[in-house]
Structure 1
Amino acid sequence: MIQQNPEFERVNDAWWIVVSGDKILQHRDSPGLFRGDWQQMTDFHAWREDIIQVGEVDSRPCYVLDMDAQHVTQEVYEGISLRAMLMQLQAELFYVVSRAWQVALFLRTHRFCGRCGDRMARVEWELATQCHTCKHRCYPRISPCIIVAIRKGSQILLAQGRHHKNNMFSTLAGFVESGETLEQAVHREVFEEVGVKVKNLSYFASQPWPFPHSLMCGFLAEYDSGEISVDDDEIIEAQFFNFDALPNIPPTFSIAGQLIEATRELVSDR
């Protein structure tokens, strides 16, 4: 549920996602999302026209307020990264904050028409922007990605990306190209990144991933053939691991961590 111009002033208890620059704000003495009524959000009343409802959790509405590049008193508030905030949250709030971030990013990047260059206006009855000069209308971008856990006997294939931190290894992932099915994207990405072929694909689950606007479509697969050969571009190391000797892996709030756990269960059931 996404609503513009919500009746937020009459709500007694709400969640507030305040975006400032590339950070999400929180109280220095009370980490996490803001919670309360609009009167408690005094420092943010100047941005009242930029508030959008992005969902509801525990019967409390959730609102996003984007300050863009502006800031408030740093002694009271601090900005933390989206990833750090998401790691603090329960599953329901995780999805709402992911949505809020993408809504804020969409509105920031669609202030002007990509066709004629004139200023865009927000559509009142749906999440979209429209140019009144050429009538071009834009909706939030969603980029489908595949992510796949590959098992070989009692092992799982994990790879270290060039941009992974803390020596983390994860499952393989990549963007779906124009004209591809999800299954075709799995086969192509796996072969391009590590040089092996897979078989027996089965759909696992999906997860919105706001970095910046991806939809991760998860699969389980079995190794078919080939020798591991990393591309040395996105992937710098890959190998099959035993589950009793796994490297540093993603947490289970991410679909990568969930795929690894699902593969562990499949192996242990054999």
Structure 2
Amino acid sequence: MSRKGKVSHMKNAYWCVVAGSDIWLVESAIPFGSAEQFSLPEASARQIGDYQNAPVMWVNLSDLDHDLPLTSLRDCLHFPESLFLLISKAIQYGHMAQSLRFCPQCGGRNFLNNNQLAMQCGECRTLHYPRIFPCIIVAVRKGCQILLAQHPRHRNGMYTVIAGFLEVGETLEECVAREVHEETGVHVKNIRYFGSQPWAFPSSMMMAFLADYDSGVLTPDYRELSDAQWFRAEDIPPVAPKGTIARALIDQTLQDMKD
């Protein structure tokens, strides 16, 4: 599989300087220009894609000799999807560089392999690619109602759909059914794929589904949730923001409820 890598003697590019799940913005946009213009270390930059016929470069903040103000990836949700996904990619590569500094095979020191954009052990030469954590996210419909939940981490009363991590030996559909039942006590049926979204917090892949209520009494697991309720379209509380696949699921379900 071919991968992007280092670009020599470039002129103008989009610069994704990242740390954790945060990125450097200039006037609320990804900075575009030369490495020299922004005092960035071109030797440490790696190309991860193209946007509007210009290279998109990934640089870790830790490679700079000065600090920069950073913004959460969540504040970039309104960017064009293709750009948002490239920013997400930069953040996930940054996470790879920080979390795979040592080889899980032999404990040797890892180094960035420029040809593969992976970490490679200096001892056993094993390549370690970015870790991706598979998650499901699902909107459950019951007639003219949608199941929405609130998590303790959510601010301003925001509700969203049910989500959770895939377990070993589990199909995506089994994960959907299990997560919904564990968190709400509800059983679902007619589970169907909707779409996906990379979610770099720090390195998840959200796989989205729609499902229908089958049976059970709504009984929120308050170890996981602050609240869970069935909502009609006219009573929808504040929900996940535009640009998230959670919001796309909610909007689709609300549309389906009108049909």
The answer on 1:33 being equivalent to 2:30 is yes
RMSD across aligned positions (CA): 1.8
Residues 1:83 and 2:74 are matched in the alignment: yes
TM-score, reference length from structure 2: 0.93
Count of residues in Structure 1 that have an aligned counterpart in Structure 2: 258
- 1:15 counterpart residue number: 14
What secondary structure does 2:25 align onto? strand
Q: Percent identity?
A: 40
CA displacement, residues 144-165 of structure 1 (integer Å, 9 cap, x when unaligned)? 1100000111110000012112
SS of the residue 1:4 aligns to = coil
Aligned partners of 1:249 and 1:257 also within 8 Å? yes
Q: Which residue of 1 aligns with 2:178?
A: 188
Aligned residue number for residue 166 of structure 1: 156
1:254 aligns with 2:254: no
Gaps of 5+ in 1: none
Q: Does 2:223 correspond to 1:227?
A: no
1:83 is aligned with what amino acid? R
CA distance in 1, matches of 2:94, 2:152: 28
Structure 1 contact 32–88 (Cα < 8 Å) conserved: no
**1-structure distance, mates of 2:57, 2:217:** 49
- C-alpha contact 1:21 1:68 (8 A) present in aligned 2: no
Instruction: Return the offset for 1:20.
Output: 4.3
| Distance in 1 separating the partners of 2:90 and 2:248 | 23
2-structure distance, mates of 1:180, 1:219: 16
Contact 1:68 1:108 in 2 (8 A): no
**By how many angstroms is 1:264 displaced?**
1.1
* Alpha-carbon distance between aligned partners in 1 of 2:36 and 2:65, rounded to the nearest angstrom: 19
Identify the residue that residue 3 of structure 1 maps to in structure 2.
4
TM-score (norm 1): 0.89
Partner of residue 148, structure 1: 138
The range that moved more, 167-176 or 227-236, is 227-236
Say yes or no: does 1:205 pair with 2:202.
no
